Structure 1
Amino acid sequence: MKIIRVGSRDSKLAIIQAKLVMDAIERYDKNIKTELITMKTTGDKILNKSLDKIGGKGLFVKELDNALLNDKVDITVHSYKDIPMEINPDLPIVAVSEREDERDVLILPKGKIDKTKPIGCSSKRRTIQLLQLGYENIAPVRGNVISRLNKLDEGQFSALVLAAAGIKRLGLEERIYRYFSTEEIMPAACQGIIAVQARKGENVDFLKGFHCEKSKYIADAERAFVAALEGGCSSPVAAHAQIQGDKLILNGLYVDEKMGILKKGSMSGSVEDAQNIGKSLARKLKEEVWKWGRGL
């Protein structure tokens, strides 16, 4: 019997996501058993500062990367949106999940709503788009989804804005007050997609039952867009790709904070050309912002 050691953050959502991968592996090959190994990452430990002040969302993967490099685990499971744009070439992404609901949602407290309290929001991307929608009094909130919900229900916030995917995977869909369309709040690149990393050159055929090729094209386009804008995981950049037949349609959002410019755009092409679509749309929006900033 072969054992596959699966590395994961120790939050409830991360463990649920890891178990989705583990279940798919064991269904694919009855001669494999999976073992879950959890760890607390630097990003989980430092909760009194915003992510962009302490190194970005890459802090959620550092310990897991080290465990993989040091052969303490065989694969690691992440929310793809938490993985930095620059990936260690020795630790490639070897499988991605079918995409869960990519929208952002508004969550209200279980008890009475104190409207003097701020809306808890963890990202510049969401904050900028919420302000455009007319929401005010927005404050940062850190911690995993469950701890954020606890802060909400304790009365620290009047509402939270979170990813629908995490809420649904936690079985807490009844907490959702409203969904924001992807036109209202464009999602983070790869929101709702689970990614699996492994050591370069390792045989990962056991992930064939988990991997979704459609999600790979979507992720390639969205991440190429963000990377071309030199946007890390904490940058106010958003991307949303959809596939219709053999055509990929990518919507992107680029924010130049210094000039106070928000620009959206769209581009489409063949799914096989996903990365080039992402890069081309990024160049187009960058050029439009540059021209606008110079009054051209």
Structure 2
Amino acid sequence: MSKVLRKVIRIGSRESKLAVTQSQIVIEAIQKAHPEIEIELVTMKTTGDIILNKSLEKVGGKGLFVKELDIALREGRIDLSVHSLKDMPMEIPEDLPLIGFSKREDPRDAIIIKDGFNIDTDAGIMGSSSKRRILQLKRLYPNLEYKLLRGNVQTRLRKLEEEDYNATVLALAGIKRLGLENVVSKILSTEEMIPAAGQGILAVQGRSGEDYSFLEDFFSKESAIVSSCERAFVTALNGGCTSPIAGYAQISGDEIELRGLYCEEDSEEICIGTIHGDCKDAVKLGETLAKRLKPKKWR
């Protein structure tokens, strides 16, 4: 690995306000540790940001949020890219590895409710594009109808205000990073709503063989461990498919606990389970829980 430290670092980001804010977190960390490095932010609109009238699985999956940034990395137009880990596909190209992860922000989901609507008793419409969220919300709010709602945070809040949605649900991490905690009506515990794998963690992607030592102080070892556990769980359940899957790992000392959810595509039969063990076995634990939760008839 080359140890020649660059004088200029170009960081790639999606154009949304949240994506830019998250990239700025990485920029500030680099500037603090290495004030001698000049940093350039390069933003671009991804296919996933453009197509909002269809669910992700119908138009190509999570890879649509990274495709353009991957191309820019390969072509050398950027030196690294910043992503919400929960939006990253499970299969990562060998030439564009995930080089590190941020400290985890709040992993919970938050409900935003239109003024005057009682989510516990009123009949209404919950907007979401996530099967993971919808399946779990149906158990909490069977009185609601669930309709597709996609877009960045600001787009979803605007649609909630202007269209016939009565509520929507967003990752609390993004809301906090944008300073929009005031819009939150209710925060769901990780027991009520198991988060998506990697939720609350920022992933930095780079090119293989490059020196990224300037980010060593920013990266979190704990996030690397829990994300490896959660993503191993999803991957073992064919996580690139459209089946609803959730996984949330927590570390206590040298032990890690993973709580996972799986539901076969076109079914609403949810399987939830928990496993714990040594942190050094994080990947194996994720794979083991996946085998436990996937019934034989679905294997």
Q: TM-score, normalised by structure 2?
A: 0.93
Aligned with 2:9: secondary structure?
strand
User: Given the alignment of the two structures, is residue 120 of structure 1 paired with residue 102 of structure 2, yes or no?
Assistant: no
Aligned equivalents of 2:17, 2:280: Cα separation in 1:
35
User: What is aligned with 2:250?
Assistant: 242
State the 1:260 CA deviation.
3.9
Aligned equivalents of 1:116, 1:35: Cα separation in 2:
48
CA RMSD of aligned residues (A): 1.7
User: What is aligned with 2:100?
Assistant: 95
Aligned with 1:214: secondary structure?
helix
User: What is aligned with 2:184?
Assistant: 176
**2:203 maps to which of 195, 202, 217:** 195
State the 1:256 CA deviation.
1.7
115-124 vs 130-139, which moves further: 115-124
1:129-155 deviations in whole A, cap 9, x for unaligned?
A: 111113321111011110100111114
2:233–2:287 Cα contact (<8 Å) kept: yes
2:242–2:265 Cα contact (<8 Å) kept: no
User: Given the alignment of the two structures, is residue 30 of structure 1 paired with residue 38 of structure 2, yes or no?
Assistant: no
One-letter code of the match for 2:246? A
User: Given the alignment of the two structures, is residue 59 of structure 1 paired with residue 61 of structure 2, yes or no?
Assistant: no
**1:271 maps to which of 241, 265, 279:** 279
One-letter code of the match for 1:191? Q
Spell out structure 1 runs of 4+ moving beyond 3 A.
111-117, 257-260
74-83 vs 112-121, which moves further: 112-121
Aligned equivalents of 1:97, 1:259: Cα separation in 2:
35
State the 1:34 CA deviation.
1.0
1:111-145 deviations in whole A, cap 9, x for unaligned?
A: 44495641111200000011111332111101111
Aligned equivalents of 2:266, 2:137: Cα separation in 1:
19
Aligned equivalents of 1:234, 1:223: Cα separation in 2:
15
State the 1:262 CA deviation.
1.0
User: Given the alignment of the two structures, is residue 129 of structure 1 paired with residue 136 of structure 2, yes or no?
Assistant: yes
One-letter code of the match for 1:165? A
User: Given the alignment of the two structures, is residue 3 of structure 1 paired with residue 35 of structure 2, yes or no?
Assistant: no
User: What is aligned with 1:284?
Assistant: 292
User: What is aligned with 2:49?
Assistant: 44
One-letter code of the match for 1:121? S
Pair 1:253–1:4, CA change in 2 (3 A): same
Pair 1:119–1:259, CA change in 2 (3 A): closer
Aligned equivalents of 2:57, 2:275: Cα separation in 1:
29
Q: TM-score, normalised by structure 1?
A: 0.94
Instruction: Give percent identity, aligned residues only.
Output: 51
User: What is aligned with 2:155?
Assistant: 147
1:76–1:196 Cα contact (<8 Å) kept: yes
Aligned with 2:228: secondary structure?
helix
Aligned equivalents of 2:127, 2:266: Cα separation in 1:
24
Structure 2 gap segments, 5+ residues each? 1-5
